[in-house]
Amino acid sequence: MTGLVKKFLVCGAKSFRSMCSDRVELPEGHIWVCVGKSDEEVKRFEVETHYLNHPLFEDLLSMSVQELGYSYQGALRIACEADLFLHLLDLIKTSHPSVHCLELHDLIHRFRAAGTDHEKSPKAGKPRSPWI
C-alpha cells in the first residue's frame, strides 16, 4: 500500500497552488490532505504522515482512487465527507486495538447511521462512536 501513497503524492504534486493549499509551512512529518467530494465542499486538514499507513486510511485512499484517480492538482485528495474524515482521524488517534479490525465500509455505514439517529433525537448529545 505504500506504493499507492507514493503514487498519490507524486501524481498529485503537479501544482501545489490549488483551491485548498496555501503557502503555509507544515511541521515536519505532516502533510495537507484535501477532503471533499466536490470542489465546492473541499476542506484542508493537516495530517501526520504516519496515519497514511493505517489500514483504514489506506482503504480510504483506495476508495478515493475510484472517484478521483491518481492525477489531481495540489495536496493529497480524499473523496469523502469532512465529518467522516475527522471521525476516522479521531479513531486512528485513539490507538484503540479494535480500530485495526474495522472495515471501512462498515465504519462508513455505522457513522452515517449514528448521524441519522442523532438527527432524529434533538435531546441526544454527541453521537456515540459507531465502533464501540
The predicted model scores a pTM of 0.68
Strand spans (E) along 1-111: 30-35, 43-48, 76-78
The C-alpha atoms of residue 19 and residue 109 are separated, in whole angstroms, by: 29
Contacts of 53 (CB under 8 A, 6+ apart): 1, 2, 5
The dihedral over CA atoms of 38, 76, 63, 65, expressed in degrees to the nearest 10, equals 90
Q: Which residue has the higher pLDDT, 17 or 86?
A: 86
**The pLDDT value given to residue 44:** 92
First to last CA, the chain: 27
Q: What is the pLDDT of residue 10?
A: 45
Q: What is the pLDDT of residues 64-108, one digit of tens each?
A: 888 877 766 667 889 899 999 999 999 899 888 888 888 999 989
Q: For the segment 43-57, what is each residue's pLDDT rounded down to a tens digit? A: 999 999 999 999 999
